Amino acid sequence: MSSIAADFTGKTRWTDDSMQARLRGRYRSERLFKFLGFAAVAVSLLFLVFLLGTMISKGIGGLSLDFLTASDSTEPATAGVWSSDNVAGYVDFDIDLTSRFNVGLAGRVEDSSLFGTTTIGKISSRFAFNDVFALRGAASTGFRAPTPGQQYLQNVAQNPNLNPAFARSVDVRAVLPSNSTAAALFGGVALKPEKSVNLSVGLVLQPLAGLAVTLDAYQIDIDDRIGISQAFELTQAQRAQLIAAAVPLASELTHVSFFTNNFDTRTRGVDLVATWRRNAGPSNFGLTWASNYNRTEFTDYSPALFPEWTRTSYVDNVPRFTSHLTAEYQWSKLSLLGRIRHFDQWTYVAAAGATNGAGVVTTQPIYQDIGAVNFLDLVGSWHFTDKVDLSIGVENVLDQFSDTVDLVTTRNNGRLYPGGAPYENEGRNLYGRVNFRF
């Protein structure tokens, strides 16, 4: 009987040419990483100094050194200090009744100095029939108190007058507290908390290794929802009442609006999310498709506070359907990302007094459907270390824009594209970003 053995262990030869070359390469890499980090910090500091210098010397948006003190545009009569205190406690249980059946229970008690005590709760469950298919559902109640800003906001702005029925060149529009003398002329009362009931049901599928699909339907009912009323035109008699009541700036005001609880809404929708990931040797590839369809409707409202065009601006000024498809590829220190964003059509609302492309001033609100639009984004990243990476990306690669709007309104200010769009109309955007994690 014979045997053969070999020992391939040995000491590291630090003086070998190959080892010295590797050490020199590693040293150069570390110096490069440090240089890039210091360079990024230096560029950021220089830009910050330049930005602050520009703000102080020239001002941005009409601001100069006065931004360090009280702004002259703030009327002392509308200034004030308000506050509220909230104390809350909650308990949350998550229980596996069996290996397949999970139940969650949660409760919250909150006491507000303005609105007293309220209690809300949530119950959820998930049942897995097997490793492939599961059902889940949840029911909860919600509560949201008005913020001090919504309670006490007093904001006055000047806009060009676009209504030919009035000879003035400027409108002076005020947003005032809902329980103010001016708001009371149009039905304003003190705000109260919003309350909601939320229901959802969904399914979870994992039919293949690396593939997961979730589909959830939901309904959200909000009662006493807080929103801003339409802008009411003041008559001479109403203005005289406000002057007699010593309302600040009453002699100059042309319009008044205020926050109110005078409407309820119901939102119903469906969320679909599918993810697929696969390893291919040293690399990793993933796809994510996320889509949403929802619709909001008014279940109760005050026609005087929320006319038809105002309701339309609440429920139809966002696309009912949106979808995002994202592809990710990772290999060693390199990662690539491509994303397609789809936004379905939505409705742009121009109030009465807008001027159309022919220069004709409208006497009724105008609705314009803004067509669907798609955007393509690309991002490439290199991860130098666990704490430093560099990304270069292009948003809206194909330089897409939404439909144009042939209206001149106080909201759009003559811009070519609709104000309040659910996406940015700025064309192609190229950017670079260095991330440091400490």
DSSP codes of every residue in 290-354: EEEEEEEEEEEE-TTTS-HHHHHHHHSSS-SEEEEEEEEEEETTEEEEEEEEEE--EEEEE-TT-
- Where helices occur in 125-235 by DSSP H, the ranges are 148-152, 181-184
Beta bridge partners of 328: 286, 337
By three-state DSSP, how is residue 95 classified? strand
Q: Is position 79 within any domain?
A: no
DSSP at 206: -
Query: Would you say 382 and 341 are in contact if contact means Cβ atoms under 8 Å apart?
Result: no
Q: CA-to-CA distance for 423 and 361, rounded, in angstroms? A: 28
Q: Is residue 65 part of a domain?
A: no
Q: Which of 45, 60, 75 is the last residue of a domain?
A: 60
The answer to the question of residue 357 being in a domain is: yes
DSSP alpha helix (H) spans, 178-232: 181-184
Verify that 325 and 420 share a domain, yes or no: yes
Distance (Å, whole) CA 264 – CA 223? 5
Residue 332 in any domain: the answer is yes
Query: What is the spatial distance between Cα 341 and Cα 325, in angstroms, rounded to a whole number?
Result: 7
**Does the residue 309 lie in any domain?**
no
- Domain containing residue 41: 18-60
275 within domain boundaries? no
Residues 147 and 232 reside in one and the same domain:
yes
- Assess whether 233 and 323 both reside in one domain: no
Q: Domain total for the chain?
A: 3
52 shares its domain with 139? no
In a domain, residue 212? The reply is yes
Strands 155-160 and 133-144: unpaired
List the chain pLDDT tens, one digit each, 438 residues: 444 444 444 555 666 777 667 767 666 666 666 666 666 667 666 766 766 666 566 544 443 333 333 333 456 666 777 777 888 899 999 999 999 999 999 999 988 887 888 899 999 999 999 999 999 999 999 988 888 888 887 888 777 776 666 777 788 888 888 888 888 888 888 899 999 999 999 999 999 989 999 999 999 999 999 988 888 888 888 888 888 887 777 888 888 889 998 899 999 999 999 999 998 778 899 999 999 999 999 999 888 888 888 888 888 888 999 999 999 999 988 999 999 999 999 998 876 555 555 555 555 677 888 999 999 999 999 988 888 889 999 999 999 999 988 665 544 455 678 877 888 888 999 999 988 888
Task: Output the domain CATH number for residue 249.
Answer: 2.40.170.20
Q: Dmax over Cα atoms in the chain, in whole Å?
A: 119
Identity of the amino acid at 87: V
Same structural domain, 154 and 260: yes
One domain for residues 55 and 125 = no
122 and 225 share one domain: yes
Q: Are residues 330 and 239 in the same domain?
A: no
Q: Give the C-alpha separation, 364 to 94, whole Å.
A: 54
Q: Is the pTM of this model over 0.85?
A: no
- Whether 237 and 122 map to the same domain: the answer is yes
Kindly state whether residue 77 falls inside one of the protein's structural domains.
Answer: no
Cα(96)–Cα(94) distance, rounded to whole angstroms? 7
- Whether 96 and 231 map to the same domain: the answer is yes
Looking at the fold, whether 352 and 207 belong to one and the same domain comes out as no
Q: Are residues 97 and 231 in the same domain?
A: yes
The answer to whether 191 and 151 are in contact (CB under 8 A) is yes
Task: Please check whether residue 306 is in contact with residue 351, taking contact to mean a CB–CB distance below 8 angstroms.
Answer: no
